[in-house]
Amino acid sequence: MIETERPYQIRGTTQTLLALRVDTPDDPTFFDLLKTDVLKSPAFYKNAPVVIDVQPILDQPTTEFRKFVARVRASGMQPIGVINGDETWNKAAAAVGLSVLAAGAPAKLDAAPSNAEPPRAAPSVAERGAAEAAPTPPAARPAPAAMVVEETVRGGQQVYARDGDAICLASISNGADVVATGNVHVYAALRGRAFAGFDGDQRAMIFCDRLEAELVSIAGFHLVSEELPAVARGKRVRVRCADGGLVVDVVS
Amino acid sequence: MAKIITVTSGKGGVGKTTSAAAIGTGLAQAGKRTVVIDFDVGLRNLDLVMGCERRVVFDFVNVIHDDIRVQQALIKDKRLDNLFILPASQTRDKDALDQEGVGRVLDELAKEFDFIVCDSPAGIERGALLALYFADEAVVVANPEVSSVRDSDRIIGILNSRSKRAESGDEQVKLHLLLTRYDAERVEQGEMLKTDDVLEILAIPLLGVIPHDKTVLAASNVGTPIVLEAGSIAGQAYQDSVKRLLGDDVPMRFVEPRRAGWFTRFLRRSA
């Protein structure tokens, strides 16, 4: 089929978004806390598109919403829409230039299903167009672009898998970084730093044959060497997100 | 075509210059026409270690900037007539070296020599980067201790990514690990890293293990490359390493602690 020439192309795309659930917007510490979170993990939160979950405040008036959105923006995040709104709230959202999105499935902290589904395929928080919520057949999904690193990553070097997993066949030296938006696999000693789920995917995990890491981080949560459990040191492990922190499992 | 071998380490004081002098001299002893270049502009030492500091007229920087021919700056070794030294300048700093100039000098030397041994300065700045940029092979010198091994790891990363071979996509620089100041007794007591531990971290082939040996300092002070000291075990270990560099298969020596003889044991007991 010959494509007609157009100055643009419109395509469907699936993005993982952060959702900011607003429980008590009038809490005086609300924005201080938010700012602190952004400052703590700027790579993760700064200018990150975020949808505002208004479910807990549906019964409250929408009069302050414009000011609220401006303050969220001032904290460093980029509000792009609301989810779980009713008619009044959706109107208020449109009035301040935000989109109305269908609610997505919240990100699972439990990592169990990750064997069954590819790490980056499922939208975790919100997705445009509720009608498309049915699972995409495997053939239609873009293949996750894993980056395979065959050589030792030396001190001062960094590998960055922008669109998926980083798979390292040799060790990661002290002072080296492995960064991936998906999972990090190291089939040797991990002595440097590993960052999985770099753009915020809490389902991402870190696997290594020998844990001697300076730091492990998933979706902004991290553990430094000192904080790693002693029983896991030097062992083959999996690191995952759970209960608002990181858990290190020794796997035999 | 000459082979360019850079002796480097990242960390200072691990034995780069001693090793460059020993390897250069060893290659010359094996009949190869060899020149050793001191890249440590401003802190030159190679001429001292090789015993020719009183004959320095022109230096590396003069050749690059002052219209001096490289043949005028080369110093011929008094002991081996196929060994030459190109000394560094003491009055300039490392910014006096530039990639184009260094490349020109190396091209010129490559016509006359079998081996060009580059003695790198410590650090990962300009002088060190230029010393490794043109390398065909690199001898990474490390001591069996953590900070030295970390710095060697860093320099290996730079060799693999910022050398001419890496930039042009040619075959990678061939890497060799030379473990110096190896004290077998302290290794056995767990005060120093084991050879295997270092190899595990650095993951490059082992060229040699040079035992800690007091004769190294003494020889260095009188300007004799250690391979010329017949009684020195470090000298013998360097000679083995040079043979390996030339492709011979030589077993490792001096890596086990020396067992005290019955007489020494007797003395210790009665002391």
Task: Report the Cα B90 to chain-centroid distance in Å.
Answer: 20
Provide CB contacts within 8 A for A222, sequence distance 6+: A215, A216, A246
CB contact under 8 A, A156 and B157: yes
- Residue B14: CB atoms within 10 A of its CB come to 24
Mean pLDDT of chain B: 93
B26 by Cβ neighbours in 10 Å (0-12 / 13-18 / 19+) ranks as: buried
Residue A112, both tokens: 């169990």
Distance CA A76, CA A98 (A): 17
Residue A218 phi/psi, 5-degree rounding, is -130, 125
Query: For residue A5, what pLDDT is reported?
Result: 72
| Residue A34 backbone class (left: φ over 0; alpha: ψ -120 to 50; beta: rest) | alpha
B180 pLDDT above the threshold of 70? yes
Beta pairing partners, A53? A21, A83
Helix, strand and coil in chain B, % to nearest 5: 45, 15, 40
* B257 HSE (CA, 13 A, CB side): 12
CA dihedral B176, B180, B184, B189 (to 10 degrees): -100
Provide CB contacts within 8 A for A156, sequence distance 6+: A175, A176, B154, B157, B158
When scoring A152, A178, A190, A212 by the number of chain B Cβ atoms within 10 A, the one with the most, hence best to mutate, is: A152
Least confident of A227-236, B30-39, B92-101, B111-120: B92-101
> For tokens 């699936």, what's the residue?
A14
The pLDDT of B171-176, averaged and rounded, is 95
Nearest CB to A175; choose among B154, B160, B161: B154
| ipTM attached to this prediction | 0.81
The pLDDT of B130-159, averaged and rounded, is 97
CB contact under 8 A, B154 and A151: no
| Residue B252 backbone class (left: φ over 0; alpha: ψ -120 to 50; beta: rest) | beta
Q: How far away is chain B from the Cα of A209, in angstroms, using its nearest Cα? A: 14
Residues of A in contact with B161 (CB under 8 A): 157
The pLDDT of B237-262, averaged and rounded, is 88
**Cα Rg, chain A, nearest whole Å:** 20
Minimum Cα–Cα distance from A156: chain B residue: B154
Query: For residue A131, what pLDDT is reported?
Result: 41
A109 pLDDT above the threshold of 50? no
What percent of chain B is predicted at pLDDT more than 70?
A: 95
Do B120 and B39 touch, CB atoms closer than 8 A? yes
What percent of chain B is predicted at pLDDT more than 90?
A: 85
CB contact under 8 A, A173 and B153: yes
Closest CA to A164 of A142, A139, A186: A142
- The DSSP string of A156-207 is T-EEEETTS-EEESS-B-TT-EEEESS-EEEEEEE-SEEEESTTS-TT--EE
A119 pLDDT above the threshold of 50? no
Do B48 and B22 touch, CB atoms closer than 8 A? no
Distance CA A111, CA A238 (A): 11
Residues of B in contact with A170 (CB under 8 A): 203
The pLDDT of B55-65, averaged and rounded, is 93
Residue B100, both tokens: 């184009």
Query: For residue A102, what pLDDT is reported?
Result: 80
Residue B9, both tokens: 């380490």
A17 pLDDT above the threshold of 80? no
Q: Residue B181 — pLDDT band, cuts 50, 70, 90?
A: very high
